[in-house]
Structure 1
Amino acid sequence: MTNNRKNRKVDGFLKKAKQWKEEFECLRNIILDCEELTEGIKWMHPCYMFEDKNIVLIHGFKEYCAILFHKGALLKDPHGVLIQQTENVQAARQIRFTNLQEVIELDSIIKEYVQEAIEIEKAGLEVELKKTEEYLIPEELQVKFDETPKLKVAFEALTPGRQRAYLLYFSKAKQTKTREARIEKYRQHILDGKGLND
């Protein structure tokens, strides 16, 4: 691995890391052993790209650190190590680690998966994402749409990602009362063309 492929911003990220520092450094070295990748920072984490396309990201949480493959759903996963972060994550998949030894033990598997991810990118393959129309509109939201047609128009004018975020958030509530409260809380947001987290 050549040091000139290391990005100073990633050096800074590692220097500041309070948790998972050794694991991050080891993952970085393993990933940089794979030719053709450029290192950078995206979403405040080390990200590795092939011809400016995101391949894999290193990130940490309280209980584990992980590498996240942006098109992980397309990886074959013969070793059964990939994890779908939540049921709503469509494309990305993680490999999680709770200590340095686990990273070291998976060295060759990580490289194998990174190489496959690069090949997927070279082939121009894309994850077929569920279309917004395939998500169910909660009954309570449909009632609001019927009562206020301009709310429906505003909702349909949102980007597909923003629409999905609202549909998932509203649907997650188990009780009608909670769904209605969530819809009411974000009614003005939708009318203003804003997303759930704007």
Structure 2
Amino acid sequence: MRIENFIIACLIDYLQSKYEKCYAFAKAQLTQLLFYNDQLYFLYFKPMTKAEKISDFYSKPSPWKTGIADLRKLVLDAGLKEDWKWSFPTYTYKGKNVVGIASFQNHFGLWFFQGALLTDKKKQLRNAQEGKTKAMRHLIYTSYEELNPTIALKFIDEAIENAKQGKKVQSTPTQSKVVLPIMLKNALLNDAQLQLNFDALSSSKQREYGMYINEAKQEATKQRRLEKCIPLILNGKGLNDTYR
């Protein structure tokens, strides 16, 4: 056997063993073996296009195959454009993410990117991470019989209308707690005027001082930084006011 043919045989055996449970996928991905001057030139896997990923998502065996197909028809009939993002089919309106379709082991459903704005008097939408997720809401089905096209379409239509109007859940930036180094705390305790001026600074400026001192690795460097900060604080200035 020629060496290149032997290599090919080994590669094919490897692929068949590695993708024993999904060999169709491996076969579809393996596009060609190229030879140059009787030598094995290269073997490559062609990346799947978005269309191929979407097709694979809806065609692969799944207990929710019929359900996700029905949801797909609903969102496409509603006029949304089909895309592939975050490993799931995503449906957009003029580039804005409106809804996604997901399928897991125990459930399937619709993922509304601005779901917090939807009218949900019966509390059918879920927040996957209470206290963390601001906008996204999920409409989950644990059986095909739970899927009510009328209810799903109501949410889809409202989500599209919100996208047309440019409605979005406004994120509120959270400020981290001001953590002061021990030596700065001691300096503030020992100087009432320093404490008074420091308290008058905004939280962001207090945070800048704390971070500036804390970032130093050695105690001597921290002490020098503290000595630099004290006159600025007494003058009611922030660490970076000079550059603003």
Structure-1-length-normalised TM-score = 0.61
Confirm or deny that 1:73 pairs with 2:116.
Answer: yes
* Separation in structure 1 between the aligned mates of residue 111 and residue 89 of structure 2, nearest angstrom: 11
> In terms of mean alpha carbon deviation, does 77-86 or 116-125 score higher?
77-86
Please state how far the C-alpha of 1:126 moved relative to its aligned partner.
Answer: 1.4
Structure 2 CA distance for partners of 1:142 and 1:28, relative to 1, 3 Å: farther
- The answer to which structure, 1 or 2, has the higher relative contact order (CA under 8 A, 6+ apart) is 1
Which residue is equivalent to 1:125? Answer: 167
1:100 maps to which of 144, 147, 154 = 144
Aligned residues: 138
User: What amino acid sits opposite 1:41 in the alignment?
Assistant: W
Report if aligned partners of 1:63, 1:98 keep a CA contact under 8 Å in 2.
yes
Which residue number corresponds to residue 107 of structure 2? 64
Residue type at the aligned position of 1:25 = A
Shift of 1:62: 2.8
Q: How is 1:152-191 mapped onto 2 (pairs within 5 angstroms)?
A: none
Q: CA RMSD in A?
A: 2.5
Structure 1 65/148 Cα, relative in aligned 2: closer, same or farther at 3 Å?
same
Structure 2: how far apart are the matches of 1:116 and 1:85? 20
Q: Aligned partner of 2:92: which letter?
A: M
Q: Supply the distance in 2 between the matched residues of 1:95 and 1:89 (Cα, whole angstroms).
A: 15
Give the 3 Å change call, closer, same or farther, for CA 64–145 of structure 1 in structure 2.
farther
Unaligned runs of 5+ in 1: 1-6, 152-198
Distance 1:149 1:75, change over 3 A: same
| Distance apart, 1:107 and its partner CA | 0.4
- For residue 127 of structure 2, give the secondary structure of its aligned residue in structure 1: coil
Q: Which amino acid aligns with 1:148?
A: N
Note closer, same or farther for the CA distance 1:147–1:71 as it changes in structure 2 (3 Å cut): same
User: Which amino acid is 1:51 matched to?
Assistant: K
In structure 2, relative to structure 1, the CA distance for the partners of 1:145 and 1:111 (3 Å cut) is same
Kindly tell me: are residues 10 and 142 of structure 1, through their superposed partners in 2, closer, same or farther at Cα, counting changes over 3 Å? Answer: farther
- Extract unaligned runs of 5+ from structure 2: 1-50, 182-209, 218-244
1:30 aligns with 2:91: no
Q: State the alpha-carbon separation in 1 of the partners of residues 81 and 120 from structure 2.
A: 24
Bigger-Rg structure (1/2): 2
TM-score by length of 2: 0.51
